[in-house]
Structure 1
Amino acid sequence: MTGSGGVGEVMGRRGRADGAAPIVDCHAHVFTRDLPLVGDAWTAPAYDYTPQDYLADLDRHGVHFGVLSGLSISGTYNEYTIAAARLSPRLRATAIVTPDTDPYVLRKMRDDGVVGVRFQLVRRAVLPDFADEAHRLLLRRVRDLDWHVHVALEGERMRAVLPALEASGVRLVLDHFAHPEPAKGVACEGFRAALDSVQRGRTWIKLAAGFRLAGPDTWREPDITRSEAIAETVAAELLAKAGTERLLWGSDAPFVGYEGRMTYDRALAQLDRWAPDPATRRALSDTALRFYFA
């Protein structure tokens, strides 16, 4: 099967001529066009992007390992993503679950390569109360499993959820540069709250999908230049204030909603602009290895 080699085999490969490809891609999705969708799914891909496709993309670009994010448009239907993680020791995954998910089910997910739960809160009219009993129980179970909570949320709403999540003691990974408001960038109050959370020691931020930073509906626009400019500014701030030990890089392959505008090559080129020093990029990879694969 394409790309299904084990850890030892993969670590011996080189992709880019400079040997500077990331070791871990911390954000990608796999799916087929016939997967079930939630009623408010923001899009419905008309193509398949299978685990074999993703592993082949990793191989083609010299990337060793990948982390699959729970697919928001399929809600709690995690079966396809988990089967992908089970397929190869090169893959890990996060899952979207309800607070009442049986702890035995969660432990089985862990055995199958799941390393955290994803709260996809972007575009949600009402945010969950993470301090209620059901969420406190779930978050405690996440801690007991040594998992993390992967949060996707608009930056202007970040202060509303960080206190309860931090109080639970879980490790947090904030998606997509912590989603600063496009018009405010690094001055966004929620983004500053995210940086404060990083300083308290249990929060990481993903340098992933900079092409989405002009807003959740910019996938309808043909030009992603503005998003890329925002991402470059925010990445510089994150590297300066959070440091490589609290940052993770992800491609967001296969770039749902941005097909034809984003490619894996372009995602790697963006990383090179955000972190032009190969030593910095290697430090990001080392952080990802420790976080997801240790």
Structure 2
Amino acid sequence: MSETCSAPITGIDSHAHVFSRALNLASVRRYTPGYDATLGEYLKHLQAHGLSHGVLVQPSFLGTDNRYLLAALQQAPAQLRGVVVLEREVSRDLLNDMDRVGVVGVRLNLMGKALPDFRDSGWRDFFGHLAELGWHVELHRHVEDLPQLIRQLIPFGIKLVIDHFGRPDARSGIDQPGFVELLELGLSGQIWMKVSGIYRLAGTPQQNLGFARAALPLLEQSFGRRRLVWGSDWPHTQHEDSVGFGTVIEQLQALGCSAPLMHSLLVEAPQALFGFENRTV
């Protein structure tokens, strides 16, 4: 997708959601919103915190009805990219249409679901289309199950993006088996990690931040600086009462990143992964 009037990139939020409670929700869901999270509100948060661009991710409770997200992308095409949720039988024509409006990936939110077997032949065409389009596959699952899923996906040659530090349990420390395997797989050069959702790591706020601070240098060593991206996870579903946009900015600052790492998290890595073009002032 080409940019016609892109603004200079001051910072990219790599993970946020927009929705309305009036939308048709998925019949099977883990969460039901009692409020609206509009594009207008989101863009105000970006501006207030010195960020210029964002990536909208389809929330699980909307299922595969991506219309609200696609409409949002078309309201600010130079500023936004999208990650959708799809059935694997989706047509190539629909994928092409989504590609033209700024979709760059597909999310597989596997929380609370039976694990798929990506070696099944039914996935071959789906992942083949994504690889041809240059899209990524975003995985959301607890860390103990991620290594086997990643090993099944690597042969497809697609870019893989892991949500929220891989959803480890902060109380189990950085030596927990799934996380150690994830670090090893990061050496493949095919995987990106979202440094996001610190408050979702199952511990107290202090334990969660402590884990994130200990994990970040290990992730940088394994994945490389250019394969780590930061996301706000706005509007922080299921944690709205205790977490706001300012909270996650404070958590990012509390990680103690070096200036080069911070610039890579907010600009260089997401710019490359999500296909944003920059304009010099």
**Alignment of structure 1 residues 81-100 onto 2, 5 Å:** 81-88=69-76, 89-100=78-89
Which residue of structure 2 aligns with residue 58 of structure 1? 46
Deviations 1:124-152 (A, max 9, x none): 1x111111122111001000111000110
Paired with 1:123 and 1:229, the residues of 2 have a C-alpha distance of: 26
Paired with 2:169 and 2:241, the residues of 1 have a C-alpha distance of: 25
| Residue identity opposite 1:7 in structure 2 | S
Q: Pick from 239, 244, 252: which aligns with 2:225?
A: 244
Aligned residues: 270
Contact 1:186–1:237 at 8 Å: present in 2 too? no
TM-score, normalised to structure 1, is 0.87
Which residue of structure 2 aligns with residue 3 of structure 1? none
Aligned-partner SS, 1:7: coil
| Residue identity opposite 1:286 in structure 2 | E
Compare 65-74 and 269-278 and name the one that shifted more: 269-278
Higher relative contact order (CA 8 A, sep 6+): 2
Which residue of structure 2 aligns with residue 79 of structure 1? 67
Aligned-partner SS, 1:66: strand
Which residue of structure 1 aligns with residue 202 of structure 2? 214
- Structure 2 residue 257 is the aligned partner of structure 1 residue 276: yes
Contact 2:56–2:83 at 8 Å: present in 1 too? yes
| Residue identity opposite 1:70 in structure 2 | Q
Q: Which structure 1 residue ranges, 4+ long, deviate > 6 Å from structure 2? A: none
TM-score, normalised to structure 2, is 0.91
Paired with 2:180 and 2:70, the residues of 1 have a C-alpha distance of: 34
Q: Once the 2 structures are TM-superposed, how far is the Cα of residue 224 of structure 1 from its aligned partner?
A: 3.4
Contact 1:155–1:179 at 8 Å: present in 2 too? yes
Contact 2:82–2:102 at 8 Å: present in 1 too? yes
Paired with 1:63 and 1:281, the residues of 2 have a C-alpha distance of: 13
**Alignment of structure 1 residues 223-242 onto 2, 5 Å:** 224-242=205-223
| Residue identity opposite 1:114 in structure 2 | V
| Residue identity opposite 1:26 in structure 2 | S
Which residue of structure 1 aligns with residue 181 of structure 2? 193
- Structure 2 residue 108 is the aligned partner of structure 1 residue 109: no
Contact 2:183–2:218 at 8 Å: present in 1 too? no
Unaligned 5+ runs, structure 1: 1-5, 13-21, 216-222
Paired with 1:53 and 1:94, the residues of 2 have a C-alpha distance of: 19
**Alignment of structure 1 residues 124-143 onto 2, 5 Å:** 124=113, 126-143=114-131
Sequence identity, in percent? 31
Unaligned 5+ runs, structure 2: none
Paired with 1:87 and 1:128, the residues of 2 have a C-alpha distance of: 35
Aligned-partner SS, 1:186: coil
- Structure 2 residue 279 is the aligned partner of structure 1 residue 291: no
